[in-house]
Amino acid sequence: MKDRAFVPTMGALHAGHLSLIELAKSYSDEVIVSIFVNPLQFENKEDLAKYPRDLDADKKLAMSVGATQIWAPTVDEIYPDEPSIISAGKLGSKYEGVNRAGHFDGVLTVVDRLFKHVQPTHAIFGEKDFQQLFLIKQWVQENKIPVEIISAPLIRDKDGLALSSRNIRLGDQGRKSAIVISQALLAARESRDPQSAMLEVLASEPSFTLDYAIVIDEESFEEASASTLNSRALIAGWVNGVRLLDNMQMSVVA
């Protein structure tokens, strides 16, 4: 089978998405980018309605960095009938899943549908949504799906804010407040007690509302312990009604 690289997106493309497309080019001359806002992964209908959409701009951006095909299916194309929901298991109800019931079930369900349509040999996902990336890798491995999942590094703006399609909704003041997230992660990485360091920095910004701040073992996604070799800090919270995610490696042992 000829190599075919796939970058699934929900549109509102930014430099982070473009880095995924550029990485995909190193795996295949054929790079397919999907643009589909998946209703199954939104537990809040208002959030779904507010999700930014600009298909023409997205197509131009994706093609400008090497996408060879843009696929923007309708909901009926992806879900022509009532979908059989794929369970994300226990991990799907932790961290992101606590306040977003069914979110990861929706993610796995749509990825399954997208893979069946595109039939890629490689699929590129960013590390920004680290729990999502972990669950997709786990699902692919457990079900022996013939797709290699490629992890792409998280991309930050000059001020340290992790790139996200939601950032446009922050406003100038909200953006200044949101920088506390990356500051907290940097403080954690430099501390012997990363959990406490994160919480202390986050508490210094009154406009930030915390969902969770946790240090996990990258291999198991369990809470990190003193013996964890590869750990990563995860933060989620709200600024000006916008929910933001970020993460950073704390320690890596080869």
Locate 194 and state its tokens. Answer: 């990363």
Beta bridge partners of 68: none
Tell me the C-alpha to C-alpha distance, in Å, between residue 1 and each of 112, 122, 171.
19, 12, 47
Residue type, 151: S
**Where would I find the H helices in the chain?**
15-24, 45-50, 55-64, 75-78, 96-99, 103-118, 130-142, 171-189, 194-203
Locate 39 and state its tokens. Answer: 């209703």
Q: Do residues 39 and 48 touch, judged by C-beta distance below 8 A? A: yes
Phi, psi dihedrals of residue 39, rounded to the nearest 5°: -65, -25
Q: Do residues 7 and 33 touch, judged by C-beta distance below 8 A? A: yes
- CA proximity to 249, closest of 151, 147, 112: 151
Tell me the C-alpha to C-alpha distance, in Å, between residue 210 and each of 93, 115, 234, 240.
18, 34, 11, 12
Active-site positions read 17
In whole angstroms, give the CA distance from residue 141 to residue 143.
Answer: 6
Residue type, 74: T
Phi, psi dihedrals of residue 26, rounded to the nearest 5°: -80, -10
